[in-house]
Chain A
Amino acid sequence: MARYGMLINTKKCIGCYACRTACQRQNDLLPDEAFIRFEEREEGAYPNVAVEHVPLQCMHCEDAPCASVCPTGAAHMGADGIVSVDQGRCIGCLYCMAACPYQVRSRNSQTGAVDKCRFCTVSSHENGTKMCSCVDACLTDARIFGDLDDPNSEISKAIVKEHATPLKGDLTRAKVYYVR
């Protein structure tokens, strides 16, 4: 079984937010709900300055803290390694939102349940479904999705070539890699 992950190259990211908007459309999210958030940092000293844009979303951690604290089993990891929230089990206690070190979960203001990146792009990857996922929408090809267990996949090769690592070392066993 594939072990899906994503690579985000912040050197290519221009901070246009197209991925977030595409995700909101693809997943039919409410206007106040977003699965991708951005952190921006100014680097350097005048006149040599740059702004780094870092998009953050669910890292689908193999040791997901959200799933381990969820009292109802709504937040869980599927057989494909994708962490998801069973909307029919969530009571909206927000414990997972407190436990997520990346702070990338959001509460649906209508249902009160918690939701986050679903790795929806997997269906585009597996059978070429036309989607407006974050990967498809990215103008600069900053995102690569694929199987981390396949050494010949595009993502595995890119991780090696670009020396990509999870955002925060071994804080959790994250499956989203960053080039920074």
Chain B
Amino acid sequence: MTFEPIWGSIIAWYLFLAGLGGGAYVSAAFLRWRHPEAVAMIRIGRFIAPVTVVIGLCLLMFDATAGLQHPLRFALLLTNFGSVMTWGVVFLGAFTLLSLAGAGLSLAKRDVPWGLDIAAAAFGVCVAIYTGCLLGVCKTFPLWNNALLPILFLVSALSTGMAAVLVVAIVRHPEEFNRVGVFKKFHFVLPLVELLLVASLCFVTASNASPAGYESVMSLVAGEWSVVFWLLFIVVGLVGPTLLETWLLFFSPREFEESRKAHVISFASDAGVLVGGFVLRLLVLVAAVPITMVTPWL
């Protein structure tokens, strides 16, 4: 039987943007701690966060057709605290308000209290993890129903959030981009961790008690989605950026690292991380097949 995915690209965009927004605010807080002189980059992080999350939320409401036709029903979202989605609404609500406050104060050139930055970053982490738990509690799909997925989504969220801040910084504030070494090194490590998590997810899921786990992994690595998986996710999203950044951070002279040419390479690498982040969400949604009752779904 052919399985038609329940959630498609709209929800993939939402999962990607929510994670990216959370990661962007964490980036801002991290920059403020380790690179307080990178004022513009901190502001970029605080600004990207609410913008992407609000776009994501609009997509989410657009996808919930019955709610879109009767908007008052969205108020009912806070009625079942046994549901991960309800917790998500709480986290998203708090994060949107806090990050909007941070962005507003930042744009008005006012001091943002440390407490606000820490609270917003903490809720940013919650939003990123919840996107994984949202899928993770569905016993139906072995590719989702495991404890690795929330961690994978968190790492990807931090990675894409940092990449988004770096991409804007390269274009708008290259002088600051050159001075945030520690930030760049943390950003460098994340795709490597992600690679490890994706490999673990594939091995563990393929050995799931239901054949559905094997079918899901096979459609990723050798089936319908293999070209997207290997080319756009593994090569463009993870291995490519790692190789480019390894060269730039550890094997190129400092003058080159600060040249315009190196900036173009960094831009390409971070754009790759963003592409990989979206493709990861999309693949996790569309490649998952439900557990087998009588005959396997394919």
Contacts and interface: CB of A to CB of B under 8 A. Distances in A.
Given A52-B294, A98-B141, A99-B137, A68 B76 contact: no
Interface stretch (A85-93, A117-125, A153-161): A85-93
Interface in B74-94: 74, 76-77, 79-80, 82-86, 89
A36 interface: no
A65 B70 CA distance: 25
A71 B79 contact: yes
B82 A72 contact: no
Interface residues of B, number: 36
Interface string A95-108: 10111111100010
Interface in B116-155: 134-135, 137-141
B293 interface: yes
Nearest to A92: B66
A86 B285 CA distance: 27
B77 A41 contact: no
Contact of A40 (B76, B86, B291, B295): B295
Given A99-B138, A100-B140, A167-B293, 17 more contacts: A39-B293, A65-B138, A68-B82, A69-B84, A70-B83, A71-B80, A72-B73, A72-B76, A72-B77, A73-B80, A89-B73, A91-B66, A92-B65, A92-B66, A93-B63, A98-B140, A112-B67
Q: Which 10 A-B pairs have the closest CB atoms?
A: A112-B65, A91-B67, A92-B66, A72-B76, A112-B66, A39-B294, A71-B85, A113-B66, A73-B79, A92-B65
28 contacts: A40-B294, A41-B295, A65-B139, A65-B140, A69-B84, A69-B137, A71-B77, A71-B85, A73-B79, A73-B80, A88-B70, A90-B73, A91-B64, A91-B67, A91-B76, A92-B67, A93-B67, A95-B134, A98-B141, A99-B138, A100-B140, A101-B140, A103-B290, A111-B65, A111-B66, A112-B66, A112-B68, A167-B293
Interface of A: 39-41, 52, 54, 56, 65, 68-74, 88-95, 97-103, 107, 111-114, 167-168, 171
